Amino acid sequence: MDAVQLLNRNELPFILSSASTPPILTSDHIKVQGPSLNGADMQLQQALILQDLTYVLLGLEGSYIRYSSTYVQALKEKNSEKGLEALLKGPDYKLSKHLNQSLKDITKEIIKLGRFYTALGFFVKIYDNNYFGQINQSLAGFIRSTLDEFRLNLELIIEKLSARSPGTPQMDGLSAYNILLLSNDLKSRGTDLKLRILYEICHIIFKDSKRRLLHSNDFQNFISGLKSDFIAATRTTETSAAMLDHDNSRLRGNNDLSKNGSSGALDLSTDTSQLSVCKGGVVLKTISQQITKNQGNPEIVQFLGNLFDHVSQNYLSMLNNWLVNGIIDDPFDEFMIKPTSSESSIFNFRSGTILDNITKSSGLNIPGNSSASSGTTGPSPWDSKFSLRRDGLPRQFEDYSLRNKLLLTGTYLNMVKDCGILIPFVDISAHSSTNSFSSIVPTDTHFVQSLSDINLLNIQVEHWYYRANYQLMSLFYHGYDLLGIIQDLRNLLFIHGRSAVSFSSLISHNMPALRSHCRNGQYHLPELQRDFYYYYEDTLLLKFGDLKLESVCIFTELEDILNVKPINPEGIFNTSSYQALKNIVNESIGPRGSNATNSGSSSSTNHVSFEDYLINYLTFDLTLPSPLSLIIDQTEIAKFQIIFRWLAVSSYLINLLEEAYLDLQHTMRVAKTELKSDRKTIEALARLSILNYRYLNLLRSIYTSSQQVIEEHFTISYKGLVDGTPQASFLKSSAGEDHSRSGPINSTIFQHHSQVPLSSYSPSPMNSFVSGGSSPTVQTSFEQTKQIIQDMLDSILLYSRLTDNNYLKLVRGYFKRVVNFRKFSKRIISEITLDDDLASDQGKSVNKRFIGEFSNYYKKFSNEISGYEKKFKETRESLPK
């Protein structure tokens, strides 16, 4: 019985592969002494060397051509790394020193083929193993067939070598076939060229595998990927025709590393880890590089093209399974798409605006890391569920647009399947190039059969991307009524339409609570939530959120966002560890604002500063259920919330001054009729009422301008979403009810649908698709729809000047003056409306004192409102057109 020894697979995996029996060493066995070459004529030397070459071409030794001592020693250590490397490098030969120099030169060229043949044989035996993946196994199969062809050619040569005419002496027979004819016969079928090319490729693969086993630095791979993407992004930005203006650039983030790849920016969603050995796409990339290297030789290019097509068949099967079924059929971890988990990501970089950088620090819930409220299913981490493997990405997918569509196609299909919708499975292995697909695949031309034609590959990937996008967008528009959700978000968080009346009533009924200190917020919150539910009981979004208190006031929140510093790319590229990179990101975010529980300097709730008012901390906390959270994620919800909080504070102050105006009017009537106040007191109240109107008018102007910006950009964006609506609805409930609607959204759409096949999809034939033929589809993709929503929110934030630090300081100061003015008017009213039982002289004395004080404060407030009116007018005139 053979002894079996279990080795550590992590130390040197390919030692565990099947080993080839090393050749018999002449030096270890009895040698038969042949004729000496010393003094022999050219004809005899040639005959003897020809005999040796028949052995050497098969990787063996001859009498005059022997292995080098280095190779002999390596063979004796075949189970070591050094021995294995020698086997895969091939034998080194030494020639007899007595061989004629002219014969020696041509012999050295021929024996290289023996080296190639031996090395390739060992490569096949070692790499034809599941550990090295299907692509390497396909390569081994191609090499095996090439070696068979070489042996067949060698058999024909041996026949010529041993052929003799009857009666001819043996030596004459040998002289009839010379070494030049041998060299020509070896080249006649290009076998020598094929072996050389395959040897170079195999040697590159082995060296790369060795490097990967010994040196693996995922962090440096990540930084290198960032650097290459940054260079490409910079070039694209320089040549872009549409450049963002300064304000828009600031809104989208001062950090260039926050851009998305669609505009030639950084692709931060790829997987930068290295494969353990050279396999999969790395092998395909190696062959592609050899094709590029030998472009000047059509014969080599043709051979390498055939090699690439043969080796890539399994890869194409994985590719088609991903595009057609959304399945990763990759048992040996070598495909360009790999499933990931949110926990595996060290950094969850998010593309978009500067608001994304503050998400984590502001305590917002990130999709995939939080659970939805009201018992609903939490959002799925689709932004990181599948990643594109950067290592070994085939050159055909180096274009960002193509590889992004490839990634999104399967991701979209999985999104649909995750919602309980059946997608007919297409058995890729059952459909060869001569068979047609099932009903969902109209022609086999859509099936990717080769990566050699990049233009055709783009068309084929585009087709499957088009199909997957149609299914996903139909799910959103008709199954989950995306347009209705957008309208609900507008009504609730943009305080639009009837919601504006309801919100104004809510504020009016809770004025004392809203101006109380924020530290008492949890005491007033239940009452506010009850009233909110009363006024918005018909709003479906209440099922997924409620009024909550933020940790910082709205102005501090906006300051935190604007204080995010730009990240210097050179600083990132020079980092040496993940911790150093974390430090750079944390420095860019900057310090947070003070916590609500510690804010405010006054301990008395009777003297609460404006920034400590509860209204500044009030927000509507919303978490949409999956799959709506895929298209409106928490980053966009955070932007909705900022706009809502801004409008809420403005609305509160408007109500505050409207309340003051009513109090002033009532006091004037009382002063005239009941208190019989003097003319100066009545005039003071009238002047105060006019000043109150000026403060109120400017407040309304600020609020109205924000609403106008919201209305304009919402209308434009909503039209874009409507234009992208799929022309056909295919999602029905088990009872046949169509979930699309024009009225209020039905809550049942948030439940999982019964599994219904997507039978209505009928993609156009290839020629119609290429020529732009019409078929039921959506005008915008899933990513474009997300971009429309993001652009709408970014534009509102931009043109509402909520990203302008100077404007925020101006508004913040004005809002404080509004609150102080209200306190002043209340004090004047309380002092004028003295108790009717006071003596007349005392009342007149008190009124006279406060009228004098009123004149001083009135002049101060009047000058302030004049100054603010001028500043806000200048601000409106400086707005971008």
- Average the pLDDT over each of 162-166, 316-320, 662-666, 688-692 and give the range with the smallest value: 162-166
Burial (CB < 10 A; 0-12, 13-18, 19+), residue 247, is middle
Query: Is pLDDT larger for residue 844 or for residue 798?
Result: 798
Confidence class for position 241, pLDDT limits 50, 70, 90: very low
The confidence score (pLDDT) of residue 134 equals: 92
Rounded average pLDDT over 271-298: 89
Q: What tokens were used for 653?
A: 């102050």
Torsion of CA 294, 296, 298, 304, to 10 degrees: 10
Q: What is the pTM of this model?
A: 0.74
Confidence class for position 655, pLDDT limits 50, 70, 90: very high
Predicted confidence (pLDDT) at residue 739 exceeds the cutoff of 50: no
Q: What is the chain's Cα-based Rg?
A: 40
Predicted confidence (pLDDT) at residue 402 exceeds the cutoff of 50: yes
The confidence score (pLDDT) of residue 668 equals: 85
Q: What tokens were used for 785?
A: 């729809």
Classified as helix, coil or strand, 549 is strand
Nearest to 491 by CA among 527, 536, 531: 536
The confidence score (pLDDT) of residue 790 equals: 93
Domain extents in the chain? 13-214, 218-276+286-341+381-474, 484-724+788-877
The confidence score (pLDDT) of residue 497 equals: 87
Predicted confidence (pLDDT) at residue 648 exceeds the cutoff of 90: yes
Confidence class for position 858, pLDDT limits 50, 70, 90: confident
Return d(Cα 163, Cα 161) in angstroms, integer: 6
Confidence class for position 613, pLDDT limits 50, 70, 90: very high
**pLDDT tens figures, 522-557:** 999 999 999 999 999 888 898 999 999 999 999 998
Q: What tokens were used for 663?
A: 């109090």
Query: Is pLDDT larger for residue 51 or for residue 10?
Result: 51
Torsion of CA 686, 691, 694, 700, to 10 degrees: -90
Place of tokens 């043109």: 799
Q: Please tell me the chain's helix, strand, coil percentages from 3-state DSSP, rounded to the nearest 5.
A: 60, 5, 35
Of the CA atoms within 13 Å of residue 453, those in its CB half-sphere come to 10
Cis peptide before 627 (omega within 30 of 0): yes
Return d(Cα 267, Cα 260) in angstroms, integer: 6
Query: Is pLDDT larger for residue 344 or for residue 853?
Result: 853
The confidence score (pLDDT) of residue 562 equals: 83
Best-predicted range by mean pLDDT (451-455, 739-743, 873-877): 451-455
Predicted confidence (pLDDT) at residue 231 exceeds the cutoff of 60: no
Rounded average pLDDT over 775-801: 84
Nearest to 475 by CA among 716, 752, 242: 752
Predicted confidence (pLDDT) at residue 24 exceeds the cutoff of 80: no
Confidence class for position 848, pLDDT limits 50, 70, 90: low
The confidence score (pLDDT) of residue 243 equals: 35
Q: Are strands 618-622 and 545-549 parallel, antiparallel or unpaired?
A: antiparallel
Q: What tokens were used for 119?
A: 């090395």
Contact 19, 126 (CB under 8 A): yes
The confidence score (pLDDT) of residue 646 equals: 95
Best-predicted range by mean pLDDT (424-428, 743-747, 754-758): 424-428
Predicted confidence (pLDDT) at residue 764 exceeds the cutoff of 50: no
Please, what sign has the CA dihedral across residues 257, 261, 266, 272? positive
The domain 484-724+788-877 is placed in CATH, from the list 1.20.950, 1.20.120, 1.10.3470, 3.30.70, at 1.20.120
The confidence score (pLDDT) of residue 396 equals: 87
**pLDDT tens figures, 316-359:** 999 999 999 999 989 998 999 988 754 333 333 333 333 333 23
The confidence score (pLDDT) of residue 361 equals: 32
The confidence score (pLDDT) of residue 756 equals: 35
Percent of the chain at pLDDT > 90 equals: 33
Mean pLDDT taken over the chain:
75
Contact 608, 602 (CB under 8 A): yes
Q: What tokens were used for 590?
A: 């900057």
**pLDDT tens figures, 408-456:** 999 999 989 888 888 888 888 765 443 333 333 444 568 898 888 889 9
- Average the pLDDT over each of 32-41, 510-519, 738-747, 831-840 and give the range with the smallest value: 738-747
Rounded average pLDDT over 474-478: 89
Return d(Cα 391, Cα 395) in angstroms, integer: 11
Rounded average pLDDT over 771-793: 72
Return d(Cα 276, Cα 266) in angstroms, integer: 26
The confidence score (pLDDT) of residue 390 equals: 84
The confidence score (pLDDT) of residue 511 equals: 93
Confidence class for position 796, pLDDT limits 50, 70, 90: very high
Nearest to 186 by CA among 53, 46, 60: 53
The confidence score (pLDDT) of residue 222 equals: 54
Please, what sign has the CA dihedral across residues 305, 308, 313, 315? negative
State how far the alpha carbon of 59 is from the alpha carbons of 80, 122, 136, 196, in Å: 21, 11, 23, 15
Beta bridge partners of 619: 548
Return d(Cα 610, Cα 812) in angstroms, integer: 10
Predicted confidence (pLDDT) at residue 594 exceeds the cutoff of 50: no
Return d(Cα 378, Cα 617) in angstroms, integer: 25
Query: Is pLDDT larger for residue 608 or for residue 344?
Result: 608
Confidence class for position 315, pLDDT limits 50, 70, 90: very high
Query: Is pLDDT larger for residue 455 or for residue 595?
Result: 455
Q: What tokens were used for 547?
A: 């009024």
Classified as helix, coil or strand, 389 is strand
H-run or E-run covering 508? helix 498-509
**pLDDT tens figures, 186-198:** 887 788 899 999 9
Nearest to 319 by CA among 281, 276, 270: 281
Contact 614, 524 (CB under 8 A): yes
Nearest to 564 by CA among 251, 259, 798: 251
CB atoms within 10 A of CB 306: 12
Query: Is pLDDT larger for residue 1 or for residue 654?
Result: 654
Looking at residue 254, its amino acid is: N
